[in-house]
A and B are shown apart, each in its own frame.
Chain A
Amino acid sequence: MAEYHFPVPGAVDENKIVLFVHRHWASFLGQFFLSLVMLVAPGIIVLILFFSDIKIAEGFVTHFMVLGLSIYYLITITVAFLAWISYYYDIYIITEDAIIDISQQGFFGRKISQLSLLRVQDVTSNIVGFLPTFFGFGDVLVETAGEQSQNFLLKAVPNPQEVSAKIMELHNGLVETEGRHHQLLEAEGALAPGTIREGTHQVGDGHPMSETSPPVSQPAPPPPTNQPTFQQNIPSAPKEGEVSHDDLDKGGEIELK
């Protein structure tokens, strides 16, 4: 696997970075040669006119030609530079728990998208064409689960099969870690057994509650006094709607009261 020791944006925790993927240099070859031809071709034409017997570049045609070529070359180098900037800052950062896509569009556009690895469902690597096959680069399509599915296309990355395998490996590891985390919480009593896997949370009296329940900060209606509640098991029961320190120690999994 190609190594990328490219420095990272300050917002990303460097310790969590697993892969730093840059677009393969061969994917820039087309734009590079196009820019080269655009820079060289007018010069060659001017030289041919200068040394030939064709009397086009005479009189005030020379004036227009100088001004026109000057403008043409300035625009061409700017277009070439913008293409290079867009290529150079097309970066994909794969951390332990997310994929970050940094996309540069010329001078004035930068798009940064982030996708949680937990949402990954399918990963497809795709190598099509002579140059991608020869240099070993291609696209990696990351598809997500859920109604609002969001697809991530990692364009022209080196070794796409290995990148896609790494993404799936990180995804599986993360799912396993999350599962163990929930098992630990269940063992500590912070979660009712099987609540997360079944897609429902349980309140103190054992009634299942859907995931679209109101947030913790909103005060819930007080329970009837004749029924036992979860608050009675807590040594220092907080006031209604408050989050106690005991709850915070349970890894952020807070019982609704």
Chain B
Amino acid sequence: MYIFLIIWLLFVFAYVIFNVYGIYRIMAMRIKGDSVIFAVLVYLIVMFVIIAISIIIIANLDWGKNLKDVLRF
């Protein structure tokens, strides 16, 4: 089951890198005085809330079981 956890972590890692660079590009192309900074702040808060809730729930689940046992019906 750890394999799914590793895949999820890899996804989150790539996602964070993509967003960090994307937000950096947006900030570089900003128009003076716009309200993008506020939108980016809200976006980052929502993103980290989702990741935090996911981590909290994931931490409370048992991931140690073998995948073969899970798929056995």
Contact = CB atoms under 8 A, between A and B. Distances in A.
A111 to B, nearest CB: 12
A67 B31 CA distance: 37
B32 A7 contact: yes
A88 B31 CA distance: 11
Nearest to B46: A77
A73 B51 CA distance: 9
Given A60-B70, A63-B61, A78-B19, A85 B26 contact: yes
Interface string A32-69: 00000000000000000000000000011011101101
Contacts of B46: 77
B33 A7 contact: yes
Contacts of B25: 107-108
Given A60-B1, A74-B15, A107-B26, A66 B57 contact: yes
Contacts of A69: 54
Interface size class of B (residues with CB under 8 A): 20 to 34
Given A62-B61, A63-B4, A63-B63, A6 B31 contact: yes
B47 to A, nearest CB: 6
Contacts of A59: 70
17 contacts: A7-B31, A7-B32, A8-B31, A8-B32, A66-B57, A66-B58, A67-B7, A67-B54, A70-B8, A70-B50, A74-B47, A77-B43, A78-B15, A88-B34, A107-B21, A107-B26, A108-B22
Interface of A: 6-10, 59-60, 62-64, 66-67, 69-71, 73-74, 77-78, 81, 84-85, 88-89, 91, 104, 106-108, 110
